[in-house]
Amino acid sequence: MRILGLIGGLSWESTVPYYSLINQSIKQQLGGLHSARLILYSLDFHDVERLMRTDDWDGAGALLAGAARSLEAAGAQALVLCTNTLHKVAGTIEAAVSIPLLHIIDATAEEIVRAGFSTVGLLGTRFTMEQPFYSERLELHGLKVLTPDRGERDLLHRMIFEELCLGQLLQHSREHCQGIMRSLVAHGAQAIILGCTELSALIGAADAAVTLFDTTGIHARKAAQWALAQD
């Protein structure tokens, strides 16, 4: 089994399910007392969020690249960045190490295409929904991407940082998300991407009339598959 290096703490609320889901996948495949071989580098999200908020993506990239180098030096054979938004600096991380980064957008897009969908709604932070790094990578896989309107994007962004990253799961926020997803479906979305690793704690299949693609679960399963693959 190959060793995974997890860059977590972004927020730690969504790092916990990564650890659990990867280990569950390994146990399901191998049985018995098997568990994943992994190394976790957990950052202080306070520092990272400040860089994001001030649009200092070079600083954020440098911080995460340092974590990646530490994981490689510790023996990791591939990297898993346990967040959606910070894949904006994936190129900086990849340039800092010689081991592969298992990209969350590619893993998600491959699953969507395999399921037969071509038009998807995207939920996430304002950075994920508004900046091109996410939608353009999805479009490379032949997908058309729809995002909520400006007011709904602002609402989602505030909810993620002020509630979900603090472990707060509020019913009225779930209802807001349900309404946003209904609107995306009305505009043609055949499926919806939960493009924030914290969103799956709040929203599930029962909250939408279309298929939801949980990036956290997809990414974690992809990482487990990579760990078990033959060299």
Which two structure tokens, joined as six digits, stand for 99?
Answer: 């081991």
pLDDT in tens, 52-76: 999 999 999 999 999 999 999 999 9
- For position 83, what pLDDT does the model report? 95
Q: Which residue bears the tokens 């800092």?
A: 96
Average pLDDT over residues 117-125: 98
Assigned token pair, 176: 């807001």
Task: Please report the pLDDT score of residue 111 as a whole number.
Answer: 97
Q: How far apart are CA 202 and CA 90, in angstroms?
A: 26
Question: Structural domains in the chain?
Answer: 4-103+218-228 (3.40.50.1860), 104-215 (3.40.50.1860)
Query: For residue 138, how many C-alpha atoms fall within 13 Å in the half-sphere facing its CB?
Result: 28
Report the catalytic residues.
83, 196
Is the pLDDT at 231 greater than 60, yes or no? no
pLDDT digits (tens, 9 = 90+) for 122-138: 999 999 999 999 999 99
96-107 average pLDDT score: 98
pLDDT digits (tens, 9 = 90+) for 147-173: 999 999 999 999 999 999 999 999 999
| E strands present in 43-133 | 78-81, 119-123
Distances from the Cα of 34 to the Cα of 26, 31, 73, 216, angstroms? 7, 6, 25, 22
Residue 173's pLDDT is what? 95
